[in-house]
Amino acid sequence: MARFELVFKRSVAKDLRAIPGQDVRRILDRIERLAEDPRGEGAIRLSGQVRYRVRQGDYRIIYQINETQLMVVGVKIAHRARVYKRPH
């Protein structure tokens, strides 16, 4: 299987700054594994959307897969209690 390129929305950097350092390392390791297999263990497609999510501890990584360009686009990273809520 070909390796996917990892791309992130600008807002993901802001999301990561709000997360404690020890958790950020684990999240980044999990994101690296998405490049190898974006639909691997723990990946769940969000209902009614073209996005997927994976768990990393108490955090969720929301992403899209672009098959034609072999890209995984990181959309949002947040605590599980806040990840699906829309900003006000």
Report the phi/psi class of residue 57: left, alpha or beta, with left for phi > 0 and alpha for psi in -120 to 50.
Answer: left
Average pLDDT, the chain: 91
Sheet containing strand 59-66, strands side by side: 5-8, 71-79, 59-66, 51-56, 44-45
For the whole model, what pTM was predicted?
0.89
Sign of CA dihedral 30, 10, 6, 52: positive
Measured CA to CA, the distance from residue 84 to residue 71 in angstroms comes to 22
Domains of the chain: 5-79 (3.30.2310.20)
What pLDDT does 85 receive?
Answer: 77
28-60 residue pLDDT tens: 999 999 999 999 999 999 998 899 999 999 999
Instruction: Give, rounded to a whole angstrom, the gap between the first and last alpha carbons of the chain.
Output: 41
Residue 83 is predicted with a pLDDT of 85
